[in-house]
Amino acid sequence: MQRALYTLMLRAALPLALARLWWRGRAEPLYRRWIRERFGTYRDTPDKPVIWVHAASVGEARASAPLVRALMQALEGCEILVTCTTAAGRETLKTLLGESVRLAWLPWDLPGAVRRFLEHWRPRLGVLVETEVWPNLVASCRQSGVPLLLANARLSEKSARGYARWDGLSRPAFAALSAVCAQSEADAARLRAAGAHGVAVTGNLKFDAAPDEGRLAAGRALRAALGCRTLLLASTRGGEEAMLLDALGAIPADMRLLVVPRHPRRFDEVAQLLSARGLEVARRSLAAVPGKGVLLGDTLGEMDFYYAAADVAVIGGSFAPLGGQNLIEACAAGAPVVLGPHMYNFAEATRMALDAGAAVQAADPAGAIREALALLEDPARRRAMSGAGLALCQAHRGATARQLAACLRLLK
């Protein structure tokens, strides 16, 4: 009954969803392309067996890359289809995987669209990355005999409470999954309570996503060329730039500020915000190097470059209740990390980084800026945190091999 009501609500929202695509397409033109795929209609027909991986947006795209590469190597006779839902996710996948996979939009979760998707691609296996459990999609996969693995699965306490409110809709969806690879014991316990079966703790794929050595070298070269300390505000979300800039006040003459917004559609908005504060803005997309003022990171797929260019990184998404952003990337690049209070989407990685001494956490933007400025004045502490972050990433690699093994078991 709840799934029927859910489907009815989705159908009613279709005009708004299409209008939103067109609206977002002003800043991100990819949203206006291949719209028929949102309804389960595709042009090209596969000529090999298909393994399907769904990585909704940028975070999932980056996390999935090691597993996708492992699947390509283990299943050379198959074609890998990777679906996503956001323009930034699709661009990230293109940057990370190039032409080695086929990219497409995942259709909206309508029974007809999902059925057409499955009939067209006929995947031998579906891999949903993190928490992409769509009720009609999962039900259709079960009816069609397509095994589904929830990979790199996480379920925060907040999300678990949300699913519990729609237990009649979410529990059958979780129960229909063939297997679940959870990031941590806490995630596994919440997923089992939500109805999932076959749950195993396999670790976090993000520890296996090694940074690009060329971009690391370029970031270090930029830091050397600037000749001063650098503070990075990484993956910031709406309102956070203003909060952190207010806490920072005047930028010291011997410091350069790097600001990298989380979403491409906000690049121009943040440039205007910085300019309105009287700051000189150099844009990375124009290959600009700031003589003073701020470098705006308005490119995709270069977070390892920005982290390598930073003496200290403040992680965005964590100063409003948004769940935080991926701190593992920063640790893997050797950047000391400062976190805000809201990191519930990365709770286990946050705990490990804090315990290892690779990160510090503050209660608010003012506290985060105080911690960051103190670190900029303490090279020895920065070196210790950098080493701790690199050691943490090294110690927790191996999730890719464990999750690949789960994929191969389902295929057999």
Active site residues: 60
Vertex 323 angle, CA 322 and 325, to 5°: 105
Vertex 394 angle, CA 361 and 352, to 5°: 30
Residues contacting residue 275 through CB under 8 Å, at least 6 positions apart: 281
Strands 359-361, 337-339: pairing is: parallel
Return the closest-CA partner of residue 404 out of 127, 158, 163. Answer: 127
Write out the E strands in 172-244. 179-182, 199-201, 229-236
| Tokens found for residue 174 | 């979780």
For the chain, how long is the longest CA-to-CA vector? Answer: 64
DSSP state of 260: E
Distance CA 177, CA 180 (A): 7
Q: Which amino acid is at 73?
A: Q
H/E element, 29 = none
Residues contacting residue 264 through CB under 8 Å, at least 6 positions apart: 27, 28, 87, 88, 91, 298, 300
| Tokens found for residue 120 | 């067209």
Write out the E strands in 193-228. 199-201
CB 403 within 8 A of CB 205: yes
Distance CA 151, CA 29 (A): 30
CA distances from 329 to 27, 201, 220, 230 (A): 26, 21, 15, 17
